[in-house]
Amino acid sequence: MSDCSERKIIHVDMDCFYAAIEQRENPELMGKPIAVGGDGRRGVLCTASYEAREFGCRSAMPGFKALELCPQLIIVPVRFDLYQQASAKVRAIFGRFTELIEPLSLDEAYLDVSHWQSDAGAIAREIRAEIYEETQLTASAGIAPNKLIAKIASDWQKPNGQHQISLEEIPEFMEYLPVAKLWGVGKKMQQKLSSEGIETCGEMQGVEKIEMAKRYGKWGIQLYDLCRGIDDREVQTSRIRKSISKEITFGEDVNRVQDLFPDLGQMLDSVKESHQQHYRDRVIKSAVVKLKFADFTQTTIERATERPSIELARELLLEGWRRGGQKSVRLLGVGLKLADPEPESQSHLELGMG
């Protein structure tokens, strides 16, 4: 498990996803209160546009109730195929930035971008900009050292905004945060906590750990950590990790290739250390250096090796720099590609044949 203080987690949440897609597909619906749901009055809303939310319409509300609140509400039928297509495009954009993606639904996901040396807020802005450019849909994002706070923060600047919480800001951020914002605290738990005089995380922090366990069992021990902003959960993906990489976007373009050597060495050491700590059972099959130039063209150079060295990394860097026309560099990346893990069934078969 990686050190939480080193993690850069982004929670991306699309804004009124289904409703926004329907407004995009039918410009006449733009700016109007609309909802997506089945069977009109008799159905239940899947989502409502921001215009409809101003009247109190929300997801899971019966259609007839929504129409009572907003008589001019336009309810359009659900088109999951369309939403899945848009979701796939958004997911593809995520994949340009990281392999560590944990989808929560069609319209939200956690991304672990710890391998980037750039500020995670800048990465989130780039992701949101690419989503809008390619889908004409807006997204909001929360950026934090863990999943708990990233998800809470993504709701802070909605719609079409983002909010970043650093490790140092966590104590102050949590102190006045309503306990209802904590993962797993539903209405019943919220009412129970409220009856005991606990409305904020700061108030919960005043309860001793043993007392939390007595009152709420194992869940109380989890709450003891959560109310302090402590969350060790890693971004879970079912995909086998294919590579380990680090990237940095420079504040100013770098003109001389030799000025890239110090960062190159640091990043190579970092990815090799990550391999030893987390993937030492996986064989390294190649080393990769990536360059993006001032004109936004880019090149990637890869060389087969099981033992990547700084000498090899510099060779790849120089080759890429020459290939790119020796232009100024705005982004440098270093990576190791990993061989696929040996299937257990194959290992067992070979042992049996011995």
Active site members:
108
Segment among 2-6, 113-117, 208-212, 280-284 with least mean pLDDT: 2-6
Instruction: Give the pLDDT confidence of 128-139 residue by residue, as tens digits.
Output: 999 999 999 999
Position 343 confidence tier, pLDDT thresholds 50, 70, 90: low
Cross-sheet strand order for the sheet of 45-48: 45-48, 34-37, 74-76
The answer to whether residues 254 and 328 touch, using CB atoms and an 8 Å cutoff, is yes
Segment among 35-44, 113-122, 284-293, 305-314 with least mean pLDDT: 35-44
Position 277 confidence tier, pLDDT thresholds 50, 70, 90: confident
Domain 4-15+97-168 has CATH 3.30.70.120: no
Q: List beta partners, residue 74.
A: 34
* Residues whose CB is less than 8 angstroms from the CB of residue 192 and which lie 6 or more positions away in sequence, other chains included: none
Domain 17-80 has CATH 3.30.1330.10: no
Query: Which tokens hold the place of 173?
Result: 């951020």
Closest CA to 278 of 116, 120, 114: 114
Position 39 confidence tier, pLDDT thresholds 50, 70, 90: low
Distance of CA 263 to the CA centre of its chain: 25
* Residues whose CB is less than 8 angstroms from the CB of residue 329 and which lie 6 or more positions away in sequence, other chains included: 250, 253, 254, 257, 260, 291, 292, 293, 294, 321
The pLDDT, as a whole number, for residue 24 is 97
For residue 185, the surrounding DSSP H or E stretch is none
Query: Which tokens hold the place of 289?
Result: 């250096």
The dotted CATH code for 171-226 is: 1.10.150.20
Domain ranges of the chain: 4-15+97-168, 17-80, 171-226, 243-338
Position 1 confidence tier, pLDDT thresholds 50, 70, 90: very low
For residue 9, the surrounding DSSP H or E stretch is strand 9-14
Position 298 confidence tier, pLDDT thresholds 50, 70, 90: confident
Class of domain 243-338: alpha beta
For residues 294-330, one letter each, b for 16 or more C-beta atoms within 10 angstroms of the residue's C-beta and e for the rest, the string is beeeebebeeeeeebeeeebbebbbebbeebeeeebb
The CA distance from 16 to 13, in Å, is 9
